[in-house]
Amino acid sequence: MAEPSVDPLSLLRQQKRHARRALDHTTQMHHAQALARLVCHHRTFINSKTIACYLANDGEISTRYILERAWLMRKQLYLPVLSPLGHRLYFAPHQPGAPMRSNRFGIMEPDCHPREWRNARQLDLILLPLVAFDSAGNRAGMGGGYYDRSLAWRQYRQHWRRPTLLGLAHELQKTDQLEARSWDIPLDGIATESSLYTFSGQS
C-alpha cells in the first residue's frame, strides 16, 4: 500500500515553525531588538500614522520593541481581530494596558466594540507575521488565509499602494523558493533581524 504523499508546503511550514520555536529567549530578544532598529528607521514607518502590528505567538519574531517605539512616536497602533463572520481580519486600536481578550485560536486581541475597528484600506502600514519567505517576496503564512482574504482587493488596485505591507520574520525562515499562488497578496517588503528586503518598487 502506497504511503500518503506529503504536501511540500505543509512540511516546510512545520520545519520553519519548529526552527523559530527552537530559538532561546535571549536570541529571540536580540532578534526583536535588531528588527526594531531596521523597521523603525525605515522611511515608510516614519511617515506612517496608522500602523497595524501583531503580538508574537508560536515563536514569531517579537514586535515588542517596535510597539514601544511606535507609541513614543505617537503612532496610532492597531492589532488584528478575527471577524465573527467569515475568515477575515479587522484591526482594533491598541494602547498599553488596554483590555485584551483571547480569540478562538488563543491569541490575544483588543477587547473593544466593533465600531472602533478599521479595515486594511484605512491603514498606512501593516506589519504582518509569516512562516516562510523567499527572496522574491513570496510568503507562506499559517495556512488559514486570513491576511490574503482581508487584502484581496489589492489585486485589483494597481495604482493604490495603501497600506504598505511589510512581513516580519527571523532570517532562518527564509527559503530558496516558494511557489506563488493566484490568491497570494504580494508584499512590499520583508524585514528580519539582519536584512530588509524590498519589492514592488519600495525602498
Confidence at residue 10, expressed as pLDDT on a 0 to 100 scale: 85
pLDDT score at 9 = 81
Q: How high is the pLDDT of residue 174?
A: 95
Q: Is the dihedral of CA 198, 200, 202, 203 positive or negative?
A: positive
The torsion angle over the Cα atoms of residues 35, 38, 42 and 48, rounded to 10 degrees, is 20
pLDDT at res. 135: 87
> What CA–CA distance (Å, rounded) separates 147 from 140?
11
Residue-wise pLDDT tens digits, 25-53: 999 999 999 999 999 999 999 999 999 99
User: Tell me, what's the pLDDT at 4?
Assistant: 58
Give the helix, strand, coil percentages of the chain, each rounded to 5: 30, 20, 50
pLDDT at 203: 43
At residue 50, the pLDDT reads 98
* pLDDT given for residue 36 in this prediction: 98
Please tell me the predicted confidence (pLDDT) of residue 67.
Answer: 97
Query: What pLDDT, on a 0 to 100 scale, did the predictor assign at position 27?
Result: 98
- Dihedral of the alpha carbons of 85, 183, 142, 123, in degrees to the nearest 10: -60
Q: In terms of CATH, what superfamily is 9-198?
A: NagB/RpiA/CoA transferase-like (3.40.50.10420)
* pLDDT score, position 3: 54
Q: Which residues of the chain have pLDDT under 50?
A: 1, 201-203
Q: What is the pLDDT of residue 104?
A: 84
What local confidence, expressed as pLDDT, does residue 44 receive? 95
* Helix (H), strand (E) at residue 100: strand 100-102
Q: Tell how many helices (H) and how many strands (E) occur in the chain.
A: 5, 11
pTM beyond 0.85: yes
For residue 202, which of 152, 155, 168, 162 has the smallest C-alpha distance?
162
Residue 32 host element (H or E): helix 25-40
